[in-house]
Structure 1
Amino acid sequence: MILAAESFYLSYASRRVRAGVINRRLSRLAEEAPAEKTLQGLLRERGLTESGDFIFGMVALNRLYTQSGITGNPLAFGAMFILAGLVLALMLKLLLALSMVAALSVFVLVGFALPLLVLRRARNKRVQKFARQLPDALDMIVRSLRAGHPSSVAIALVAREMPDPLGTEFGIVADEITFGLSLENAVRKLSQRVGYEGLHLLSVSLSIQSKTGGNLTEILANLSSVLRERQKLRMKIRALSSEGRMSAWVISLFPVVMFIILQFAAPAYYGNVWNNPVITPVFVIFGAWALLGDFVMYRMVNFDF
Structure 2
Amino acid sequence: MFDNPIVLYGLIFAAALLLVDTVLRMLTSFRKAKSQVSNRIETLRHTKGAENAYGELLKRRGMSGRDGEQTIGGWINKMIVQTGKEISQVRRVGYFIALCLLGYVVGLIFVTTTFPYTVLFAVFFGVVASILIIKFLRDRRIKAYTAQLAPALDIIVRSLSAGHPLGTSIALVSREMPDPIGSEFGILSDQLTFGSELEQAMLNMYDRVGAPELNMVTVSVSVQRGTGGNLAEILENLAQMIRDRLMVKAKIKAISAEGRITAWIMLLFPFGLYYMLKTIVPDYFDLVWESGYGGLIVGICLTLLFFGMIVIRRLVNFDY
Smaller-chain TM-score range?
A: 0.7 to 0.9
Q: Give me the whole-angstrom Cα distance separating, in 2, the residues matched to 1:39 and 1:271.
A: 62
Matched, 1:267 2:289: no
The CA deviation at 1:114 is 2.5
Identify if the C-alpha distance between structure 1 residues 242 and 30 changes in structure 2 by more than 3 Å, giving closer, same or farther. Answer: same
Corresponding residue of 2:172: 157
Identify if the C-alpha distance between structure 1 residues 62 and 54 changes in structure 2 by more than 3 Å, giving closer, same or farther. Answer: farther
**Which segment drifts farther, 218-227 or 260-269?**
260-269
Q: Give me the whole-angstrom Cα distance separating, in 1, the residues matched to 2:108 and 2:76.
A: 33
Corresponding residue of 1:213: 228
Work out which of the residue numbers 158, 173, 177 in structure 1 matches 2:188: 173
The answer to whether the 8 A contact 2:149-2:181 is kept is: yes
- Paired residue type of 2:120: L
Q: What do you get for the CA RMSD once the two structures are aligned?
A: 2.6
Q: Give me the whole-angstrom Cα distance separating, in 2, the residues matched to 1:299 and 1:216.
A: 38
Corresponding residue of 2:24: none
Work out which of the residue numbers 244, 257, 264 in structure 1 matches 2:259: 244
The answer to whether the 8 A contact 2:107-2:121 is kept is: no
- Paired residue type of 1:109: F
Corresponding residue of 2:146: 131
Corresponding residue of 1:106: 122
**Which segment drifts farther, 245-254 or 235-244?**
245-254
The CA deviation at 1:19 is 3.7
Return the TM-score normalized by structure 2.
Answer: 0.81
- Paired residue type of 2:290: N
Which runs of no fewer than 5 residues in structure 1 stay unpaired? 1-14
Q: Give me the whole-angstrom Cα distance separating, in 2, the residues matched to 1:65 and 1:93.
A: 27
The CA deviation at 1:79 is 1.4
Corresponding residue of 1:4: none
Q: Give me the whole-angstrom Cα distance separating, in 1, the residues matched to 2:256 and 2:35.
A: 39
Corresponding residue of 2:163: 148
Corresponding residue of 1:7: none
The CA deviation at 1:193 is 0.9
Identify if the C-alpha distance between structure 1 residues 303 and 90 changes in structure 2 by more than 3 Å, giving closer, same or farther. Answer: closer
The answer to whether the 8 A contact 2:40-2:57 is kept is: yes
Identify if the C-alpha distance between structure 1 residues 77 and 298 changes in structure 2 by more than 3 Å, giving closer, same or farther. Answer: farther
The CA deviation at 1:82 is 4.1
- Paired residue type of 1:106: A
Matches within 5 A, 1:7-26: 19=34, 21-26=36-41
- Paired residue type of 1:84: A
Q: Which of structures 1 and 2 has the bigger CA Rg?
A: 2
The CA deviation at 1:78 is 3.6
Work out which of the residue numbers 301, 306, 315 in structure 2 matches 1:286: 301
Partner deviation per Cα, 1:224-264 (whole Å, 9 max, x = no partner): 11111111111110010011111222222222112222222
Matched, 1:63 2:75: no
Q: Give me the whole-angstrom Cα distance separating, in 2, the residues matched to 1:114 and 1:50.
A: 30
The CA deviation at 1:214 is 1.0
Other structure's SS at 1:142 match: helix
- Paired residue type of 2:261: M
Q: Give me the whole-angstrom Cα distance separating, in 2, the residues matched to 1:20 and 1:243.
A: 35
The CA deviation at 1:47 is 1.4
**Which segment drifts farther, 229-238 or 81-90?**
81-90
Matched, 1:83 2:64: no
Q: Give me the whole-angstrom Cα distance separating, in 2, the residues matched to 1:79 and 1:268.
A: 40
Question: Size of the alignment, in residue pairs?
Answer: 288
The CA deviation at 1:17 is 11
Corresponding residue of 2:198: 183
Q: Give me the whole-angstrom Cα distance separating, in 1, the residues matched to 2:119 and 2:77.
A: 28
Could you tell me the percent identity over the aligned residues? 35
Which runs of no fewer than 5 residues in structure 2 stay unpaired? 1-29
Relative contact order (C-alpha < 8 Å, sep 6+): which is higher?
A: 2
The CA deviation at 1:117 is 2.1
